[in-house]
Structure 1
Amino acid sequence: MRWTVLILLFLGMIVNFADKSIIGLAAKPIMEDLGLGPAQWGIVGSAYYWLYPITGVIGAAYADRLGAKKMLSFLMLTWAVLQFGVIAITALPLLIVYRILLGAFEGPFSPVAYAHADRWFPPKLKGFANSVLVSGATVGSMVVAPLLVAMIAGLGWKIAFAALGVVSIVWFFLFMLLTKESPVEAYEKAKKKKKLEKFSLKDLKYIASSKTALFTTLAYFSTYFIVVWIATWMPLYLIDIVGMTAGQMGFAVAAIGIISVVLYMGVSVISDYAFKKTKNWKLSRIYITGASMLIGAICMLSVIVYQNPIWVVIAMCLSKGLTYAILPIGPTIMINEMPERGGLMTSILTSSGNLAGIVAPLATGFVVSLASTQILGYSLSIGAMASLVLIFSILFMLFARPNSTEQKEKMEEEAS
């Protein structure tokens, strides 16, 4: 059952990020069809994240009390309805409303999925399990890009969106039929316990006092600038600046996705192995992840100087694969800070990180519009994002100190 749950969560992440990224792959036909410019497209990209951080926290908090299986299934059904509704979009306002609603109902999925997987895997496999989920995000946003591009070209962008709605319905039935809420031992134990109490001021004080939670969230936040830029702007960057055709762009995006999965899963496996051998959270979770992010940021900065198509693809593979290391390891660190509030802790992480999703598309759109040349506009946006990751990866390594069990008990006593 453990691996069945992980596989279906992996497939759910594919659907989640395919829903999220298809907008970037369909950017050209949508902009031409609705007559949109770069600044307006920036608003479309940003709109997805306007409610995303809020609903992420609320949905994950309810999932801790009501059950992850019910929450994940409900979310998937809402995506199906929204993707079918794309057929009715005829103007920019309707496109923005669709993106706001899709972001609102997709916000809780990642944190709830991370917390759900965490219940099924022992500590020595948690990093690997989360890396599998993050790889689902990469498959959905990048590896399936050639298929999505072909669907957009052959069927039109609206039908391609609706096709993802069909996939959501199939996943819903598989998840309901093939999975359970929790492992048998945890389930039997949970039946004997009182219902989880509501979030309290004591919990808030505990979270606020954790430097590890703060700097993990900041590292995640900085990385999400790159996450959102890759989903919203990289397809256009590869076509307009690097000079690729739509077909070449699709395969380049897929190649970047596949190689990056290998890289950040490799970092997660190394982190798990280091933890298994040393039981040292600082070494295994902080230093390995932070160093990976730092190297990835430097790789992204390099495309500003050297824009050869082959090197751009290589650099994007390295930057995405290495900076994304925080995505699977970050939830493990946050859950360790307050295990009984796993869904809430991961939602704070992902929702705070997704605040970058509000800023990044808008900022890039306006910078590209206002810059004297497109190359300058894209270079400025890439430089700003990479520098942010560089700074916060260093701060993450310096100040994040995951707690041992004894330290957590002491902090809880001080907070109360």
Structure 2
Amino acid sequence: MPEPPARRAWTVVVLLFFFMAVNFMDKAVLGLAGQRIRDDLGIGDTAFGTIGSAFFLLFSVAGVAVGFLADRVPARRLLATMVVLWSAAQLVVALPAAGFATLIVTRIVLGAAEGPAFPLANHTAFGWFPDRERTLPGSVLTVGGATGVAVGGPLLAVVIGQWGWRAAFALTGALGLVWLAFWLRLGGEGPYAARRRDAAADGPLPPFRRLLGRGTVLGSLACGFAAFWMMAVAMTWLPQYLQRVHAYSLEAASLMAAGTQVVGIVFILAIGQAAQRMLRAGRSSRVARGLLGGAAVLTSGLAMLLLTRVGGGAALVAVMLVAFTVGNSFFGLMSSALAEIAPAARRAALLGTVTAVASTAGAFGPALSGALVERAGSAAAGFGHAFDLCALLMIAGGLLAAALIRPARDRAALGVAETPERIPA
């Protein structure tokens, strides 16, 4: 007996949840191991920031390329290939001979393999749901990334403390291969995927350049850039900020970072569920996706301004809970808003392109933050400059998202039909 469609759909979402969890563990390991890597390899803040930014060198290029490819090649095959590449990149770093140059090269490869991960995971998940049901699956995938940090952070900290930083890279590479085995057995595309539908159902396809000029896309780019900047800086520098400015141990810093992500999971799911309920109740996607998502990033930006001004202890933890978590809910809302204005045959390309361009923030954020820290009179002052810059970007991005993201208006202007509630058997 074939598996019931709803159960099958959520099986794929769960697999993609773990896909994103491993993805973010791969990202988090560098920041957690940062002090050990700097000491072992004898490099400074600017050099370490360069390693962090190297991850994003091909991140955007790969995101665009795979986005267009995903409208033609089954996602099952593309996701499997990406995981093989990023697992290999992590495992190479575990070799004793791997040094600074190896870290640069493997982070570039890792970025190329992981650049398309979030948009392609969303595209695959959206192939199992109609438009008004997509916000929650998109939020679940965002939670997958937060879970990778929340669970992976303390685990990787223990591994680094007991067996060294190279063992942590080996662990993340092995987890990717475990996921691959499950995906090859259970993964697949749903009935709303472009290749599973009658192309005529979408009507004439608008030129891709017309999609890029819509307010929903521009607002998503601005806000997404700010949110990616925050994410990249947090992954690379937050553990070191806690260690160097507030004198926390690696284990304590990893637990604090993990704690913020646990709370972030609650925020992301709550905001995603709220958006989906608003849509079911007849509220516009501008309100449920644009205003709500922009407000989330704006809130995180305001909290970021307080991060280096509240001292330590409980106040620091409370501000961290908002600054590094609430804004992450934007990614799920952004993906569903973009999917709303794109025909199925353009969906993967649009998701990949917008995510790729927005994620260029990661190529600048860690390196510029490292330079600010190294050139300041003290680590505290340097981190203050870095986090303030991040805050201003997030405040501006949140305001632009709230003003520009209007999916229903843009879909009508493009002549794109709404996604049907059901695909005929």
Contact 2:127 2:189 in 1 (8 A): no
- Is 1:374 aligned to 2:379, yes or no? yes
The one-letter amino acid paired with 1:116 is T
- Is 1:144 aligned to 2:152, yes or no? yes
Q: Distance in 1 between matches of 2:132 and 2:338?
A: 16
Distance apart, 1:353 and its partner CA: 1.7
Q: Please list every run of 5 or more consecutive structure 1 residues that lacks an aligned counterpart in the other structure.
A: 412-416
Distance apart, 1:91 and its partner CA: 2.4
- Report matched runs for 1:9-408 at 5 Å: 9-88=16-95, 89-183=97-191, 189-190=196-197, 203-340=207-344, 341-404=346-409, 405-408=411-414
Distance apart, 1:362 and its partner CA: 0.7
Superposed CA RMSD: 2.0
Contact 2:82 2:113 in 1 (8 A): yes
Deviation string 1:312-338 (CA, Å, 9 cap, x unpaired) is 221111122221121110011111121
Deviation string 1:191-246 (CA, Å, 9 cap, x unpaired) is x659x9xxx9x523312331210111110101111101110000000111122111
TM-score, L = length of structure 2 = 0.91
Q: Distance in 1 between matches of 2:45 and 2:339?
A: 39
The one-letter amino acid paired with 1:401 is R
Worse-superposed segment, 26-35 or 395-404: 395-404
Q: Distance in 2 between matches of 1:187 and 1:297?
A: 37
Q: Distance in 1 between matches of 2:194 and 2:293?
A: 33
Match of residue 414 from structure 1 = none
Describe the shift of the 1:155–1:207 C-alpha distance in structure 2 as closer, same or farther (beyond 3 A): same
Distance apart, 1:116 and its partner CA: 0.5
Identity, % of aligned positions: 26
Q: Distance in 2 between matches of 1:25 and 1:186?
A: 38
Match of residue 5 from structure 1 = 12
Contact 2:9 2:190 in 1 (8 A): no
Distance apart, 1:375 and its partner CA: 0.8
TM-score, L = length of structure 1 = 0.93
Moved over 4 A (4+): 185-189
Which has the larger helix fraction?
1
Q: Distance in 2 between matches of 1:293 and 1:181?
A: 31
The one-letter amino acid paired with 1:370 is R
Residue 233 of structure 1 aligns to a residue whose secondary structure is: helix
Describe the shift of the 1:285–1:165 C-alpha distance in structure 2 as closer, same or farther (beyond 3 A): same
